[in-house]
Amino acid sequence: EPEVTQTPSHQVTQMGQEVILRCVPISNHLYFYWYRQILGQKVEFLVSFYNNEISEKSEIFDDQFSVERPDGSNFTLKIRSTKLEDSAMYFCASRETGGRGNNYGYTFGSGTRLTVV
């Protein structure tokens, strides 16, 4: 079964440092997402990406965050200057279609645990 692959599985970084979280979505999927989950809390939408541009972003996704699809396979989330409160699990997801299609099913990766110290 096709998978969404995320690397690294765990990253520890110092406050103020830049981090890049990487994702390889399923190859024929067109819509890409980042979500985060602070420990013990719910999964929160960060951003959606389609056709090489951001489709929608949440209020969490401020100027410190950016996304990129640099080479047609990888999908990255960059946090420019990490804060303690950025510590969370970050999940990448992809889906084949968007809008009100019949298939709303996302495929999530296993996540990157980001720890900011």
Query: What is the spatial distance between Cα 25 and Cα 39, in angstroms, rounded to a whole number?
Result: 24
Distance CA 32, CA 38 (A): 20
Residue 91 interacts with another protein (CB under 8 A)?
yes
Smallest separation, CB 73 to another protein (Å): 19
Question: Which of 17, 41, 81, 115 forms a contact with another protein (CB under 8 A)?
Answer: 41
Within 8 A by CB and 6+ apart from 35, the residues are 43, 44, 45, 46, 90, 91, 92, 93, 108
Q: Is there binding between residue 42 and another protein (CB under 8 A)?
A: yes
Residue type, 102: N
Is 7 a residue that touches another protein (CB under 8 A)? no
Residue from 13, 31, 21, 117 nearest 78 by CA = 21
Instruction: Please tell me the count of residues contacting another protein according to CB under 8 A.
Output: 26
**If binding is defined by CB under 8 A, does position 31 make contact with another protein?**
yes
Binding residues for another protein (CB under 8 A): 4, 31, 33, 41-45, 48, 50, 55-56, 91, 93, 95, 98-101, 104-106, 108-111
